[in-house]
Structures are given as structure tokens and as C-alpha cells.
């Protein structure tokens, strides 16, 4: 329209500048590459190594298998999937007993799978776990 005042053009330029930023926000929340290609918990028993690698009262993260194991007592272990229940990102960080999802910051307790910090609202899936021949085996059928 002839005679359009400069502020209208400035408004259009501001809007055009925001479009790429909005795209980055959508990409950050998408289910695209999160640095890990394995986006599922074990579907069969997996050997996680020596049982004495997890000390009583400690937790250990097995990123390649998407499993966390906590040793509750000498003969009691708990295992959980480390696929975040919010957007199915593999969790790759463990601080003490706190699992931290890299995608949106959800946090879980490695000893019971419960959510400690949103946006996740569902606990982690518990996995069967046993010690067999001095090795930890976790996953369906364990």
C-alpha cells in the first residue's frame, strides 16, 4: 500500500527475524537426534557386567543398554529403563542417585524410578534384574 509508514515495515522485519528462532525452539523439542541412537529399553536380558561394580547404596548407569542399576543391599538390586518417560530421550547423566535427561531436564530417582523434576510425570519403567554367576543381568526374561 503506498504511503505505508516505516514502523509497519519494521514490524514485518521483526516478525521475519523471529521465524528462525521459533523453528529452533520446535527443533529442540522434537524427537530428532539427541546424541544417542538407541531409544529403547532392553527387550531381552542383557549382561551388564560384574555385580561388585555396583556397591551397596550406589547406582550405576549403563548408557549403551539404557539401564540404571541400584544396589539396595548385599543381595537386592533394582533396575530401571533410562528412556525418559517425557519424550523418550535416552538419559545419559547420573549424579549420585539422580538421573538427568539431557533433552528437557526431567529428573528421576535411580533407586525407585520416581520423577524428581518435571516435565516428566510418569516414573521410569522397572526392569527385572538378577545376579547370575557374579554378573548383573537385567531386562525382560531376567
The pLDDT tens digits for 91-117 are: 999 999 999 999 999 999 999 999 999
pTM recorded for the entire structure: 0.74
Burial of 45 (0-12, 13-18, 19+ CB in 10 A): middle
Percent of the chain with pLDDT over 70: 73
pLDDT over threshold 70, residue 3: no
Residue-level pLDDT at 126:
97
- pLDDT (tens digit, 9 = 90+) per residue, 12-55? 555 555 545 444 443 444 444 444 457 788 889 999 999 999 99
Amino acid at each position: 500500500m503506498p504511503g505505508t509508514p516505516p514502523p509497519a515495515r519494521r514490524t514485518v522485519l521483526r516478525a521475519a527475524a523471529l521465524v528462525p528462532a521459533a523453528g529452533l525452539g520446535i527443533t529442540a523439542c522434537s524427537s530428532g537426534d539427541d546424541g544417542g541412537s538407541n531409544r529403547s529399553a532392553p527387550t531381552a536380558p542383557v549382561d551388564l557386567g560384574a555385580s561388585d561394580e555396583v556397591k551397596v547404596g550406589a547406582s550405576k548407569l549403563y548408557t549403551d543398554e539404557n539401564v540404571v542399576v541400584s544396589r539396595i543391599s548385599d543381595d537386592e538390586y533394582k533396575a530401571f529403563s533410562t528412556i525418559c518417560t517425557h519424550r523418550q530421550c535416552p538419559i545419559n547423566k547420573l549424579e549420585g542417585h539422580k538421573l538427568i535427561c539431557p533433552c528437557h531436564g526431567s529428573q528421576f530417582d535411580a533407586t525407585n524410578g520416581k520423577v524428581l523434576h518435571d516435565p516428566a510425570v510418569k516414573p521410569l519403567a522397572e526392569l527385572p534384574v538378577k545376579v547370575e554367576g557374579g554378573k548383573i543381568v537385567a531386562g525382560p526374561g531376567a
